[in-house]
Structure 1
């Protein structure tokens, strides 16, 4: 079973030194990458109503350039509380936005240096592609269809074994409809890291294929 450390930027009332609140996920991914040598890295899930596709892909490419190894991106719809209450952005049509952004981010993740940063732009990409997988956090039918059509893996939150079986069956069906090989199915696992200032810090790992 493969593990990928996922740098999560979560907003809540936990201590700043705690389990992920406050920090930007790309900053966390860079810090983890500079402190390790081989661990696979993914930044996100990035709320799709908050960050545009190019900025998301550029963030992953920037981290990859700094840490010297592939970096993936995870996309999700987050919640109304976070998107509107923290970022002051409207959380409208989240499933449709997730689908649009997943398609766009996948293209940007595969872009090569010298290509326009976006189609028709006079600015050209200078960093190599980040080289990591595209992950879509999904649960509902539309998000599952988006993962099946565009992602390298689909990420589940806390689910029971029965839910995993049902969601995997839905993903299998959606992948067949999209004409793609089924993406890997991953799940969150809490992982302890080095205690800091007397507090036990934790990160999360996504473990495919379940």
Structure 2
């Protein structure tokens, strides 16, 4: 099995590219989706988060907007939250890898692959990228997003240029969707073609 780490800064099109890998039949582990699930009603993380950050949960699980307000700009609070979330996500990732052990290629879709150290546990790295102006337009077009919040997110992420430098493959998404899909297919061809083939 080849384990691919898929990453990219906010607004680069990573989720779209991840879906393209799914469309090609590749099992994809979505770290963000896993966090959402772990913070849903009745899940273990809900109780731990409520204990650490009172008033941030309810009948629907974690109120992500309320939690975001509590940890926004508070480095110590953010680190406490990460210390709860990361081990739970790692356990889910390990279960995913075990369940897909026969797949020739699996993708781990992890936004903070470099920042959280996950790059060391994958065979190849695919970085999804786009020009800064495209990224900014996409992100500020999201409901509830502000320029201040966007800048705060960017500060926590490795710069795009550094991610690209450390990648095995870069997929740029400032192109027609079918061009991006062809790039995904080209990456898969490279990964699955035997050396010298």
TM-score calculated relative to the size of structure 2? 0.31
Higher relative contact order (CA 8 A, sep 6+): 2
Looking at CA atoms only, which structure, 1 or 2, has the larger radius of gyration? 2
TM-score calculated relative to the size of structure 1? 0.30
Higher strand share: 1
